[in-house]
């Protein structure tokens, strides 16, 4: 009887711990929402609602790009527990490929982007096979260093091939430069299409992971390498799939933002910093978290740069760094990351 009682007690404690964990997460999310809402009300009253709405639109347009890039980072992190520092440069390279397809070969831009996504996926699969697979997936430091090297290689390679000139990247969407008015604020059609494209990509990736066999293998490998091996899952091929998928998503993000930033070998640098912040805030291993946090970071960047005088556009990347440090200090597992209590 005594053992039953103690077992019941420990089960009770386990549930209590689970409850506290959820509570802490809700508190973090609640505090974040409260701060954002308070800030919004203050600036909307002080500077007018139209400007505020305009900033929201601008923030969302950046935010969806960060969301897509953060999703690419999370895909690789989930599979390998390694942050792929070359993710931005891979996206840059993919965007150049789309540029070549569109500009030099005359393929219509939307098709050029899809082809470039396929090319990036193939390229990333090759990179995984040649540069990543020779290393033990449990050796995180080695793989991280390799991604740093890859960053430099891709960046210089793009510089050699395409030089460091700014190039205009054509918009893939209809309604060039046309916009419509929402309560006095301007929203470009192209921006709206960008949001929808990223949302569609998020939906597609989550369906791919939840409904397909390779998706099941991917989730299994990200959960436990050893168990996956015992189930006969090919680890290397599954990680390769993760790299390919992440590269395709990254190229999509690159081509979506190149329209507004101009294309040159360093153009993804800033985007990557914000996406790192988003991935960290979202919890690094949560796809949904990355998307939500990407949008939040986009909004925070635009709002802080737009309303807080001394930050402007020059100090805005610092805001991203502040977010990264703050999250790592206060909630290392991010808003949605897993730090699940397991019963044994």
Partner 1 sequence: MLHVDGLHASYGPIEVLHGVDFHVEVGEVVVILGANGAGKTTTLRAICQMIDTKGSIQLGGETINGRSTTEIARRGVAHVPQGRGTLTDLSVEDNLLAGAYTRKDGEVRADIDRWFTTFPRLQERRHQHAGSLSGGEQQMLAVARALMSRPKLLLLDEPSLGLAPLIVKSLFAQFAQMNQTDGLTILVVEQNANIALDIADRAYVLEAGQTVLTGTADQLRHDDAVRKAYLGY
CB atoms within 10 A of CB 22: 11
**Region from 37-45, 93-101, 136-144, 230-238 binding partner 1, contact rule CB under 8 A:** 230-238
Site membership for partner 1, residue 342 (CB under 8 A)? yes
**Residue tagged 């977010």 (tokens):** 323
Which of 104, 134, 213, 329 touches partner 1 by CB under 8 A?
Answer: 213
* Cα–Cα distance measured from residue 314 to residue 19, given in angstroms and rounded to the nearest whole number: 42
- x-marked contacts with partner 1 along 127-156 as a string, rule CB under 8 A: ------------------------------
Q: With beta carbons less than 8 A apart as the criterion, state whether 305 and 313 touch.
A: yes
Q: Which of 224, 266, 313, 318 binds partner 1 (CB under 8 A)?
A: 224
23 by Cβ neighbours in 10 Å (0-12 / 13-18 / 19+) ranks as exposed
Cross-strand pairs, 187: 180
Nearer to partner 1, 23 or 227 (CB): 227
Dihedral (Cα; 191, 192, 198, 203), 10-degree rounding: 180
Task: Name which position in 2, 226, 314, 329 contacts partner 1 (CB under 8 A).
Answer: 226
Ranges within 189-208 binding partner 1 (CB under 8 A): none
Contacting partner 1 within 77-106 (CB under 8 A): none
* Tokens linked to 71: 């999703």
Among 87, 120, 228, 301, binds partner 1 (CB under 8 A): 228
Per rule CB under 8 A, is residue 216 in the interface with partner 1?
A: yes
Q: How far apart are the first and last CA of the chain?
A: 20
β-partners of residue 309 are none
Taking residue 134's Cβ as centre, other Cβ atoms within 10 Å add up to: 9
211 is an interface residue for partner 1 by CB under 8 A: no
Per-residue binder mask for partner 1 (CB under 8 A), 235-274, x = binder: x---------------------------------------
Residues at the contact surface with partner 1, assessed by CB under 8 A: 11, 213, 216-217, 219-220, 222-224, 226-235, 338, 340, 342-344
């Amino acid at each position: 009887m005594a053992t039953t009682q103690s077992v019941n007690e420990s089960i009770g404690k386990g549930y209590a711990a689970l409850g506290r964990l959820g509570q802490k997460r809700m508190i973090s999310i609640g505090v974040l929402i409260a701060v954002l809402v308070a800030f919004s009300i203050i600036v909307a009253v002080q500077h007018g609602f139209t400007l505020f709405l305009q900033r929201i639109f601008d923030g969302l347009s950046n935010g969806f790009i960060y969301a897509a890039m953060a999703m690419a980072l999370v895909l690789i992190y989930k599979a390998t527990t390694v942050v792929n520092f070359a993710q931005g440069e891979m996206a840059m390279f993919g965007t150049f490929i789309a540029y070549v397809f569109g500009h030099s070969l005359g393929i219509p831009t939307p098709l050029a982007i899809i082809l470039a996504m396929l090319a990036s996926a193939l390229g990333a699969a090759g990179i995984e096979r040649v540069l990543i697979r020779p290393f033990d997936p449990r050796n995180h430091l080695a793989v991280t260093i390799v991604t740093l090297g890859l960053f430099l290689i891709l960046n210089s390679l793009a510089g050699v091939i395409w030089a460091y000139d700014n190039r205009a990247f054509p918009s893939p969407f209809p309604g060039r430069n046309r916009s419509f008015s929402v309560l006095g604020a301007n929203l470009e059609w192209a921006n709206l299409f960008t949001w929808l494209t990223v949302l569609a990509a998020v939906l597609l990736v989550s369906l791919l992971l939840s409904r397909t066999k390779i998706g099941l293998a991917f989730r299994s490998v990200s959960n436990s390498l050893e168990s996956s091996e015992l189930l006969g899952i090919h680890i290397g091929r599954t990680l390769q799939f993760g790299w390919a998928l992440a590269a395709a998503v990254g190229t999509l993000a690159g081509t979506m933002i190149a329209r507004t930033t101009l294309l040159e070998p360093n153009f993804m640098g800033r985007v990557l910093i914000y996406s790192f912040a988003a991935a960290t805030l979202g919890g690094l291993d949560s796809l949904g978290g990355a998307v939500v946090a990407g949008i939040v970071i986009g909004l925070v960047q635009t709002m802080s740069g737009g309303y807080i005088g001394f930050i402007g556009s020059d100090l805005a990347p610092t805001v991203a760094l502040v977010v990264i440090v703050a999250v790592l200090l206060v909630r290392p597992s991010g808003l949605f990351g897993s730090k699940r209590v397991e019963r044994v």
